[in-house]
Every structure is written in structure tokens, then in C-alpha cells.
Structure 1
């Protein structure tokens, strides 16, 4: 067998050069970049109190460090199919890692909060484009009977970043301040560049060559998605600390833009179908939602995103501002649950090849909801019990995530045509992150509301007071109820049968 020349980095050439193990090398390569993206989205939470003090920020402005990142990440996910088709895997992936690297360095060196926000937005744009890529690779490069295993192994590796991130981040914040958090992505980005040069193909999804002269980007749809997302998030913030009129106008505008976006996407799709070689592809292919499994999976992903990312923001703030624990304590408490999550994902990944999606996702949602509801059992007047209970309930929630993460995306997209897989991966991640962006703001709103009801303030009242703790507990109960809503939708994720093994 004649091997292809070393300068040929197309998908067929790399497959011939590395043999059957290539699909695992490719998955590992994009896993490193995804770890950097996920770490940048979650580890910042342990630095929010220190950053708020440095820039003299209120709660509503401080949470935009997270919400701004989430908004940028949510919108940019919709561009992934177009970028991959136009520039191929490698150029798209390297461009994202470069932007993430710049955002980390600039954020770490910034002396003004607007510059920190700009760096977070840049990181969010890069993270959004990267995150749908692994699901595309798993569904295209692996046989159906291997997809659950691949998803489990990928998930196990990826969750080690947020598992280790808060612990290391807490130590860095205590030792060097909030700036050190931004520099954590730098080694991951550098490793990603090296791996991309060796294993990530220059071709587009499906193995075809990238087409720089292909269909243009749906800029109008992207503008509508961006403006609608910003109106939604700002409207939620206005509900928290602004006027009712402004909040109503912003949320009403968001709802109106959603309607316009759907109409525009339908027209763009019809125009593309009438003239296949002309015009632009729709930013969000609404044909995806005609598949019942994908449509119901998207509903679950949206509600699940609210609970997941809302709790990712709320839990560190609760432990630091509610219970008075240090940033390093927060990281240490979350560390065991991270390792448990990695192991659970690996086990459930194998089950996902044999068990119905609805069963695994439903079990996960029940456990996740229970972990939120059980936060009310933590009593600050009994300090000896605080850390053990936090560790146990965090582990319970992470086991729930272990059932959901390798099952939901792959299960929801299994019935899609292969040509729709990039759009499907982009769409379901967009829906999940839209829920996540709303969830962070929603937790902030409910927390401020319950603090006001109990006559406490996050910035001035002492940690551990019954009023402050009660406000956090009620916010956790809200998240538990949201998981219950997702469970109703998850029970309708009915596949025709578990995927058969392919020889």
C-alpha cells in the first residue's frame, strides 16, 4: 500500500496514513480544544467575587462576565456548519483556538472591565464554533455501535477540565488573583495548534474539499439571532434591577425577533431549495425540527441548559457568598464530583449504544433535580456537616449529568440524514446554550428577588445568615422544578429501537 505524501492533509489521506486508529486521534485532537473552550466558560465563576471587588461591580454587572460569554457562544454556534463547509475542519478549528488564546491573554492583562468583557466575548465566539464539531465527528467517523462509546470517552476527557478547573482556579485566585484564571486556557490552546497540524483534516464534513466559493453566510439571520439573544438577556437583567417598562420592551422585542427569525429562515430555505446553487444557506435549518426525536431532544436540551448553566453559576456563588467559603474551598469541594462525572460518562457512554435515550436522560434528570432540591438540607449552624453534604449533593448531580451528556445529543441526532448532521449538531447546541444563557440570568434574577423578599443583600449582608441562605435555597428549588419540566419532555424521546451493531 502506497501512503499519501506528508503534505496531503485531506481526510482520506490522513485515514490512509494512520489507519483505523485515526478516528480516535482526530477525536482526541478536538477534545483538547473543547476542553479549553469549556474550561473558559466555567472556571471564571470562582473568580467572580474577586473580580467584582476589584472593579467594584454589583451582582447584575458581575454576572455579565458569564452571561456575555454565554450569549456570544450561543450565537456563534449557528455559524459552525457554514465555517466547516467554507474553510474545512482545520482552518476553522485553528482560527477558534487563536481567538480563544487572544481572549485569554487580553482578559488576563486588562485593567478595565469593558476590556475584560470584550475578551470574554471573544472567548465565547471561539467556544461556540468549536463545541458542535465533536458531535459531527462522532456521528460521521464512528459506526453506530461505537458512537456511544466514543461519546463517553470524549465526555470523560472533556469533563476533566471543569472538574480540575475550579480546584486549580480557586488556588490560583487565592494565590495570584482573578487574572490568573484567564491564562489557564493558554497551554490547552498551544497543544491544540500542534494536534491540529497533525490530525485535523483540511477537508469539510463528509470528506469533501472545503469550498471557499460556496454559499454565503446568512448575515441577516445571524444579526437577528444576535440581537434577539441580547434583547432576551438584557430583558432578564432589567427584570432584576431595572424598570418594568424597559424589561417588557426588551422581552417583547426578543419575542418579536424570534418570529421574524423563523419567517426569514423559512424563506431562505425555500429559496435555496428552488435554486440550489445560488443564495445562502439558512443559518438554522428548520427542516431539522420535523424529525420528532430531534424536536423533542431540542426541548430537553433547552430546559436542561437552563438548569445546568444556571447551577454552574449559582453553586460557586452560594458557597462563597452564601456560606462564606473561600475560592480554594469551592474548588476542593467540587473536585470529587468532577472525577465521578468523568467515570459516569465513560460507563453511560457504553450503555448509550444499547439503552433507549429517554431512559438514560430521564434517570439523569431525576438525579440532577434531586441534587438541587437536597441543597435545602445544608444548615450553616452545623458547620461540621456543610462540606460533606456539599460534596455528596454535588456528586449526585454530576452522576445525573453523566447519564445525560453522552446520551442526549447523539440520541437526538441518530435519526437525521447524514447531510443534516452538521446543522443538527449546531442547532441542538445552540438551543442548549440559549437555555444556558437564559439560565444564568434567571438564577441571578430569582436570587436577587428572594434576597429582597428576605430583607438581605448579597453585597452587604453577612454570609451564613438565615435570610441569605434561604434565598439561595429557594433558587435551588427553582432549578429542581425546571429539571422536572425537562423530565416530562425526556419521557417522549422515543426511538424506534436501540441501534444495531454494524460489523
Structure 2
């Protein structure tokens, strides 16, 4: 029922956004779309893992990851085509077809369980408000910092407020029986390592698409359509490689597969750091496919599957929700992280360069791509700790 309700909310928000005449209406519609998808993504993965035995959860993760990763890899290309043909309002209307199909299939196929008196759990309102306050402070502060409009004292106050909110949240959630954010899960070393990699994965998946689009259009000088075509092979490769990633996770140690994916992605972005306007488009397409197709493709199935295998069965749902939260948090932070690195390097390069602004901008994009590659390399350290022995009962 919760899955169907959130699909209905997504459909209603899409209609409101598609017919909206004011920016506030569009923002409100996007908020409700995001809230609904937050529930849907967690519930979908819970259903998949409940349907698959533990030894085949890598394949279940591949099925889930196909939808999760295909959207940001093919989205820039498809959205550009949709806007060119039907206009921006179609961005709200086109996904409704898939949502309606999902609503019909959910109504027909998903099992319905009667609610029992013992199944009700009190909602953690204090934890909810602390999470909201922390995220608003984090993203608001990062946005203002990016625009360089905050004086030093206000920046220090914001950092202190973030620290206080984080410590308060952890202390509160550790003591609650039905915590909104299950911080006690981080006592399990394999889950802890998987969570850190999931955070980096979120930064890499969404941040890389944002960076590559800017790099190719603003730095190299390609059109939006050509940029989409260069990025398209990575989405196709992802479709082909995700099932392979699921089988690899079910066959080989997860930490080795995830580490291999991180190495592929890191190598590709460091390679992009040496690109220029003279680099052939095929080279750009190959590097992007290596990172977003092969690297991220074989990583996706292993993260949630390994994290949940490391937990007792009773904590599986909390583990899935926490991993999804961290992945989405990394994705939401990624544009700000990318732009902070880029603007930092642009300021340094402009001060040191006697050439044109375009040369400084191109150099800054190269250095930002290298920086993203280094972030992937750093994630290898927690990935190597994703070694499973025997899953807790």
C-alpha cells in the first residue's frame, strides 16, 4: 500500500509540475516527486531482497541498480531530445507513462499484508527534524560558500552548527529503539565500509554526469546534443554490464569486485584530466564508458548486497534505507563538491595564467576531473574492508 500511495503522489506531483505556471509551483512539485521517489526506491529494493535468497542478492542488486544508474547516465541525452521535440513541460509528463505502468503492476502483483497491532512503530519526529535541520544547514551553507557570500565568522558559525546537529543526531538516534537513522548499524565493520563506498558512489554517479556535461560543453566547446551522444555509450554499456556485475558479486568476493570498479572509474577520470579540445570524441566516449559504464556498473550490485549480508536479518530493511540515504546524500552533495573544486582551481589558474579565460577554464575542468578520480581512489581503502566472513544470523 505504501508503494502504491507514493506512486500516486509522484503522478500527482508530475501533473502539477507539468501544468505549473510559477517557479514556486515547479519547486513544490519537485519536492513531492523527490519525497515519493525516496520511499519508492527503498521499498523496491526491500521487495527485491525479500524475493531473492541471500546468495543471489547480487543479481537482485543488479536489477535495482539498472534503473537507479540508467537514469543519470542516459538522462542528459534523452532529456535533451525530449526538450527539443516537446519542450520542458514534457520532462514532467513523460515519466508518468512508466509510473502508471508501475502503479498497475503493483496493484496486480505486489502481495498485500494485513497490518497487525505489533507492526506499528512510533515515528521518530525528533530524529526527522534533526535530519532536516542538518541537511538544510549543510546544503544551504555549501550553496552560499560556493557563491562566496558568507563572511568568515558566519562560515565558522555554520560549521559549528553542523557539528552540533550531527553530534546531537547521533546521540539521540543511538538511544532510540525505533530510530529514523539507524546509526547503530555502523557497529558492523563491513556495513560501515560499504556505507562509505556508497557515499562516494553517489558523488561519482551524479557528480560525474554533471562534471562531464560542463567539461565537454564549456571546456571542449561541444553542443548539448553532441555531448549527449558522447555520453550515450556509457548508458548502453551500463545496461549490458550490470547483469555481469550481479553475477560477479554472487561468485567472487565483493571487496575485489567493488575495488576493481573503483580503479576503472578513477583511471578514467584521471585520464579525462589530460583531455583537451584536440582530443578525439571517441577517446572521450571511451573514458566516460570506462568510468560510468564499466566502473560504476560492476560496483552497484555489490554495495547493497554486501552491506545487507553483513547485518542480522532483522536489520536488513534499516540497512537498505541507510545505504539509500547515503547514496542519495552523496548525489545531492556532488554538484556543490564539483563546483567548489572547479571554482577553487579556476581562481588559482586565473591568477597564475597570462592566457585567455578559456584556457584557465579548461585547465580547471581537467583538474576537477582528476580530483574526482582521486576521490574514487580514496574509496578503495574502505572497499578493501568489505570482506565478508559469515553473515550474522
Give the TM-score, by structure 1 length: 0.72
- For residue 488 of structure 1, report the CA deviation from its aligned partner: 0.9
Question: Aligned Cα RMSD in Å?
Answer: 2.5
**Equivalent position to 1:477, from 370, 386, 392:** 370
Partner of 2:348: 453
CA contact (8 A) 1:365 1:400 kept: yes
**d(CA) in 2 for partners of 1:126, 1:200:** 18
**Equivalent position to 2:329, from 407, 419, 434:** 434
Runs of at least 5 residues in structure 2 that lack an aligned partner in the other structure: none
- For residue 161 of structure 1, report the CA deviation from its aligned partner: 4.0
Which region of structure 1 is more displaced relative to structure 2, 337-346 or 248-257? 248-257
**Equivalent position to 1:391, from 274, 278, 285:** 285
For 1:155-194, list aligned pairs within 5 A: 155-156=65-66, 158-194=68-104
CA contact (8 A) 1:157 1:342 kept: no
**d(CA) in 2 for partners of 1:450, 1:435:** 22
**d(CA) in 2 for partners of 1:492, 1:154:** 24
**d(CA) in 2 for partners of 1:303, 1:157:** 19
- For residue 355 of structure 1, report the CA deviation from its aligned partner: 0.8
For 1:230-309, list aligned pairs within 5 A: 230-241=136-147, 242-243=149-150, 244-269=152-177, 281-309=178-206
Q: Secondary structure at the match of 1:217?
A: coil
**d(CA) in 2 for partners of 1:351, 1:209:** 38
Q: Does 1:201 align with 2:107?
A: no
Q: Does 1:421 align with 2:316?
A: yes
Partner of 2:215: 318
Q: Deviations over 1:31-60 (max 9, x none)?
A: xxxxxxxxxxxxxxxxxxxxxxxxxxxxxx
Partner of 1:30: none
Q: Go from structure 1 to structure 2 and tell me whether the alpha carbon gap of 1:157 and 1:429 turns closer, same or farther (over 3 Å shift).
A: closer
CA contact (8 A) 1:228 1:257 kept: yes
Partner of 1:362: 259
Q: Go from structure 1 to structure 2 and tell me whether the alpha carbon gap of 1:230 and 1:386 turns closer, same or farther (over 3 Å shift).
A: farther
Q: Secondary structure at the match of 1:197?
A: helix
CA contact (8 A) 1:135 1:409 kept: no
**d(CA) in 2 for partners of 1:184, 1:317:** 25
Which region of structure 1 is more displaced relative to structure 2, 112-121 or 125-134? 112-121
**Equivalent position to 1:133, from 40, 43, 49:** 43
Figure out how many residues of one structure are paired with residues of the other and give that number: 386
- For residue 195 of structure 1, report the CA deviation from its aligned partner: 0.7
**d(CA) in 2 for partners of 1:161, 1:306:** 15
- For residue 182 of structure 1, report the CA deviation from its aligned partner: 2.5
- For residue 160 of structure 1, report the CA deviation from its aligned partner: 4.1
**d(CA) in 1 for partners of 2:340, 2:174:** 34
CA contact (8 A) 2:309 2:391 kept: no
**Equivalent position to 1:328, from 225, 245, 250:** 225
Q: Go from structure 1 to structure 2 and tell me whether the alpha carbon gap of 1:177 and 1:323 turns closer, same or farther (over 3 Å shift).
A: farther
**d(CA) in 1 for partners of 2:332, 2:116:** 32
- For residue 320 of structure 1, report the CA deviation from its aligned partner: 2.6
Q: Go from structure 1 to structure 2 and tell me whether the alpha carbon gap of 1:356 and 1:193 turns closer, same or farther (over 3 Å shift).
A: same
CA contact (8 A) 2:197 2:379 kept: yes
Q: Deviations over 1:423-481 (max 9, x none)?
A: 1100111122222222221112222232333349xxxxx9x922211111111111111
CA contact (8 A) 1:234 1:250 kept: no
- For residue 251 of structure 1, report the CA deviation from its aligned partner: 2.8
Partner of 2:358: 465
Q: Deviations over 1:139-172 (max 9, x none)?
A: 3221223222232244345544444433221112
Runs of at least 5 residues in structure 1 that lack an aligned partner in the other structure: 1-90, 270-280, 457-461
**d(CA) in 1 for partners of 2:271, 2:335:** 20
- For residue 181 of structure 1, report the CA deviation from its aligned partner: 2.1
Q: Go from structure 1 to structure 2 and tell me whether the alpha carbon gap of 1:248 and 1:113 turns closer, same or farther (over 3 Å shift).
A: farther
- For residue 497 of structure 1, report the CA deviation from its aligned partner: 6.3
**Equivalent position to 1:402, from 297, 301, 306:** 297
Give the TM-score, by structure 2 length: 0.91
CA contact (8 A) 1:355 1:498 kept: no
Partner of 1:9: none
**d(CA) in 2 for partners of 1:214, 1:497:** 31
Partner of 1:217: 123
Q: Deviations over 1:342-397 (max 9, x none)?
A: 111111211111211100110000111112111123221x2xx4421221111101
Q: Deviations over 1:166-193 (max 9, x none)?
A: 3221112233443332223111111111
Partner of 1:228: 134
**d(CA) in 2 for partners of 1:325, 1:378:** 13
Partner of 1:61: none
CA contact (8 A) 2:266 2:374 kept: yes
